[in-house]
Structure 1
Amino acid sequence: MPDDNQPRAEVFEPGVSYVRGWNDARSAARELAEELRLLGLEDDFAYLQGDVSMMGTGFVRLGKVMAETGTRFADLLALGLCVEIADLPCAEEPTHIDQSGSG
């Protein structure tokens, strides 16, 4: 059933680069699909696709996913962030802790 609050796709604004936004979104969706495939999650994101807004902004639709897939995906994102943080130069600096108890 169409969403009455969204403009129809036939209503284009002059000067908006819909093709560029859509192409960017398709490329991002393909890249994400490849990463999901490497993680063994490609079947869990069967509705993944690139799309474009009425303003010409590309975006990626993940589609409907099961709750456990969302939890696993969130865990993998958090793990990835931890790995990136561990690779930051400041992560290698020793932490100076006052062990005298004086604060």
Structure 2
Amino acid sequence: MHGLDLAEAMFGEKDGPVIALRLLDALRCMRFARKSVFCFSAPTCEGCAAIVTEHERRLMAALRGVRLGQLGRTQTELMMLCEGNDITQTVGAFARLAALLPEFEKMQDVSAYV
């Protein structure tokens, strides 16, 4: 439940849980499209968390692309993440997530939201 608590703390009681659910859906769509495991660093390990894996980098680049309206960039990153499999549902899930996130201009720390 740490993820839900963090989303609520970052985005408020109203939007936090919905954003967390949309993120879960985006990850679920990506997981179904991928054939291999998604590699990520353990967020609770200080040394590990300092290292961004290729998969994490591509996920964040795809989210940034959809937020900036760069459909080609988003599709390229998701195609690589999903190993060339169908990304139609994944793109839609990322777009639904991005639609709920605060605008870049309204954010104090852009890196926290990508």
TM-score using structure 1 length: 0.31
Larger Rg: 1
TM-score using structure 2 length: 0.29
